[in-house]
Amino acid sequence: MSKKRLTQYVLLAVLLVLVPQFVRSDYALHLMIMVAIYGILVLGLEIILGQTGLFSLGHAAFFGMGSYTSALLVMRLGMPIWLGIVLAVLASGILGFLLGFPTLRLRGDYLAIATLGFGEIFGLILVNWDSLTHGPMGIPGITRPEIFGVVFDKRMYLYLIVLLFILALAAAFRISNSFLGRTFRAIRDDEDAAEFLGIHISKYKILAFIIGGMFAGLAGGFYAHYVTFISPDSFTYEDSETLLAMVFLGGAGTVIGPVVGAVVLVLLPELLSFMVQWRMLVVGVIMVLVMIFRPQGLMGGGMKFLKIKKKEVARIGEKE
C-alpha cells in the first residue's frame, strides 16, 4: 500500500470516528449506519458489475442470504452472533458460486435476465418456506450484538459498522489494484481478447460472483442484527434496482463511486422528506439529469469503462 493511500485511509478513519461524537440525533445515527451498510453492499456489486462487467439484477439475494443465514443461526441454534455473521458471509459466497456456475456462458442481456430470475426465485423461497423463514411475516426480535454483556446501542453500532466499511473499502481497493482486479477488468473490456490471451474466463467470473456475494453477505448479516427484523420485502427486485442505481450514479468501475452513490441515494430521499409524495419523483428526475449530463457517474467511470493498456492485458495473459 502506498504512503498516499495509507494517509487517505487514516484521514477517513479519523473523520468517521470524530463525526459521530458530534451527532446527538438517533435518526442521524441511523442514517449514518445505513449509509455504511449500503456502502459495503454496493462494493460487492462494484466487483461484479464495475470491475468484471457482469450485469447482475439479483444482488439483493446475496444481501438477503446474509441476513437470513445469520438471523436463523443465532435465533434458532443459539449460535454466537459473530460466528453467525461469519457463516452468513460464507453462505452468500456459496450462493454467488451457485449463481455464477450455471451462467458462465451468458453475457449482456441474457445474463441480466438470468440474475433477475435468480433473485425472484430466492424471494419466492423466502416467502413460501414458512417453516424456516416464517414466510411473509419475517423474523422479528433478532438479537443485537454485545460484548462482555453490553448490548450495542446505535452509537456503538455505528463505530462497528464504520470500521467494517473501512476494511471493506480497503479490501475493494486492494482487489482493484491487484492482478485479480486487472484480470477482472480485462474480462470486462474484451472477454474474447482476454480468453485469447489465456485467461480462464469461467474461473474469474465465478470468483467475481463469490467475492461480490461475500461483501453483500457481510452487509446483510450486520443489517439483520441492526434492524432486528427482516422479511422478504427487504430483499426484492426493487432493492437490486436501487443498488444498480447507486453504482451507476457514483460511477461503475471506480470503487469509490458506488459508495458515493450509496450516500446520495440513502440521504437524498430523507433530505426531501418534507415533499412527502413528490420526493421520489424529484430523486428520479435528478438521476435522469445526472445520467444525461454526467453519464460516466459522479466520480467518473460509468459504463464508459477505462481501457486497460495493451501491455497490461498482455502481462495478464503471460501470467495465466
d(CA 288, CA 207): 33
Residues 6+ apart with CB under 8 A from 2: none
Reported as a single tens digit per residue, the pLDDT across 253-266 is: 888 889 999 999 89
| The three grid cell numbers given for residue 181, joined into one nine-digit string | 482486479
Mean pLDDT value of segment 177-190: 90
Task: Specify burial of residue 160 (Cβ count, 10 A radius: 0-12, 13-18, 19+).
Answer: middle
pLDDT-based confidence at 319, cuts 50/70/90? low
SS3 139: strand
- Contact call for residues 298 and 252 (beta carbons, < 8 A): no
| The three grid cell numbers given for residue 187, joined into one nine-digit string | 474480462
Output the average pLDDT for the chain. 85
Max avg pLDDT among 7-16, 115-124, 247-256: 115-124
Vertex 37 angle, CA 36 and 40, to 5° = 85
Q: What is the pLDDT of residue 303?
A: 44
Distance of CA 176 to the CA centre of its chain: 15
- Contact call for residues 31 and 270 (beta carbons, < 8 A): yes
How much of the chain, in percent, has pLDDT values that exceed 90?
40
pLDDT-based confidence at 73, cuts 50/70/90? very high
Vertex 62 angle, CA 58 and 66, to 5° = 155
d(CA 255, CA 260): 9
Mean pLDDT value of segment 157-164: 90
Distance of CA 281 to the CA centre of its chain: 25
Tell which wins on pLDDT, 309 or 253.
253
Mean pLDDT value of segment 291-316: 59
Q: Is the pLDDT of residue 311 over 50?
A: no
- Contact call for residues 231 and 133 (beta carbons, < 8 A): no
Q: Is the pLDDT of residue 307 over 70?
A: no
Tell which wins on pLDDT, 43 or 277.
43
Q: H helices of 190-275, where? A: 191-196, 201-227, 237-250, 256-271
SS3 274: helix
Q: Is the pLDDT of residue 7 over 80?
A: no
Among candidate residues 27, 52, 34, the one with its CA nearest the CA of residue 190? 52
* 156 secondary structure, DSSP code: H
The domain spans of the chain are: 25-236
How much of the chain, in percent, has pLDDT values that exceed 70?
89
Mean pLDDT value of segment 295-316: 54
Residues 6+ apart with CB under 8 A from 181: 51, 175
Mean pLDDT value of segment 59-64: 94
| The three grid cell numbers given for residue 77, joined into one nine-digit string | 441454534
- Range with the poorest average pLDDT among 39-48, 97-106, 242-251, 292-301: 292-301
pLDDT-based confidence at 305, cuts 50/70/90? very low
SS3 81: helix
SS3 147: strand
Among candidate residues 93, 48, 50, 116, the one with its CA nearest the CA of residue 217? 93
Tell which wins on pLDDT, 129 or 153.
129
SS3 148: coil
d(CA 145, CA 155): 13
What are the beta bridge partners of residue 230?
Answer: 139
d(CA 189, CA 184): 9
- Provide the 10 A C-beta neighbour count for residue 11: 10
pLDDT-based confidence at 212, cuts 50/70/90? very high
Q: What is the pLDDT of residue 2?
A: 60
